Amino acid sequence: MSTSEAGSPAATAEPTGATPTADQRKRKETLGEKSERLAGSNKALGLLAIVSIAESALLPLPVDAVALPMMMANRKKIPLIIFVGAATSVIGGLIGYLIGVFGMELIGNALVNLFNQAEQFATLKATIQENWISGAWIIFLGAVTPIPFKLVCIGSGATGFPFWIFLPVALFGRVLRFAVFGAVFWYFGPPAAALMRKHGKLVGIAMIVIIIAGFLLTPLLL
């Protein structure tokens, strides 16, 4: 091969592919993007489990920001995503319940004060204590609506709400929440995925707004 051939653009051009650019490597990956990229691996399920437990027990993390991209990227795994998300969310709820039973002084009160929810938490506990029907209703609402599930779980434990009622209601509510999203992506996957990709930033902002609204509007939802 001649020198001119070796130095020609065809010979020196780099192959095109999915290699990220320098700007892409520098930009920090969001939870949703990481979930979608890892959707086909067990790492994504592990990430979902960690975020789901933390969201239900301690922190205001947007678990939907992890679950929805996974559903969007891998339709066949939607049933598994629903199972893992609901199961680990209830495990986090159990941790919250135990904090309410055994750790209010050490952890529970600090969490309530951290979120500036002392008044709302008192209202929530009073509603749970009215009777088992109102308590079960609050647990269900906490599992499916923006009411902070962690506060519901901690409040249930702190008031001594029967565990044998708490567990099935929390599980049913969380399965329903994940299943509704799963049904959307199962039946309307491509349009829903295209909408999320096109308006990804707005979806992320909306999730944050919903989390904040859940804390602010808790008294109105009780």
At 22-78, the pLDDT tens digits run 554 455 665 555 555 665 566 888 989 999 999 898 877 778 888 888 888 888 899
SS3 call for 22 = helix
Least confident of 2-6, 117-121, 168-172, 198-202: 2-6
* pLDDT for residue 199: 58
Sign of CA dihedral 75, 80, 81, 83: positive
User: Does the pLDDT value for residue 211 go beyond 80?
Assistant: no
* pLDDT for residue 197: 66
> Which of 58-67, 155-164, 176-185 has the highest average model confidence (pLDDT)?
155-164
Between CA 59 and CA 63 the distance in angstroms is 10
Between CA 75 and CA 14 the distance in angstroms is 34
* pLDDT for residue 191: 76
Residue type, 71: M
Reported confidence tier of residue 108, pLDDT bands at 50, 70, 90: very high
Residue 68 lies in a domain: yes
User: Does the pLDDT value for residue 212 go beyond 60?
Assistant: no
Q: Average pLDDT of 188-216?
A: 63
- More confident call, 216 vs 79: 79
Residue 195 lies in a domain: yes
Residue 184 lies in a domain: yes
- More confident call, 141 vs 208: 141
Residue 57 lies in a domain: yes
For residues 23-52, one letter each, b for 16 or more C-beta atoms within 10 angstroms of the residue's C-beta and e for the rest, the string is eeeeeeeebbebbbebbeeeebbebbbebb
pLDDT (tens digit per residue) in 138-152: 999 999 887 889 999
CA angle 135, 113, 93 (to 5 degrees): 40
* pLDDT for residue 160: 94
Burial class, 133, CB count within 10 angstroms (exposed 0-12 / middle 13-18 / buried 19+): exposed
Q: Which tokens is 7 given? A: 């130095």
Residue 206 lies in a domain: yes
3-state class percentages of the chain: helix first, strand second, coil last, to nearest 5: 80, 0, 20
- Name the domain count of the chain: 1
- Tokens 């929810």 correspond to what residue? 117
Residue 65 lies in a domain: yes
* pLDDT for residue 61: 74
Residue 27 lies in a domain: no
Q: Which domain holds residue 208?
A: 39-221
CA angle 118, 122, 125 (to 5 degrees): 135
Between CA 160 and CA 123 the distance in angstroms is 15
pLDDT (tens digit per residue) in 4-28: 444 444 444 444 444 455 554 455 6
SS3 call for 106 = helix
Mean pLDDT of all residues belonging to the chain: 79
Burial class, 200, CB count within 10 angstroms (exposed 0-12 / middle 13-18 / buried 19+): middle
Residue 131 lies in a domain: yes
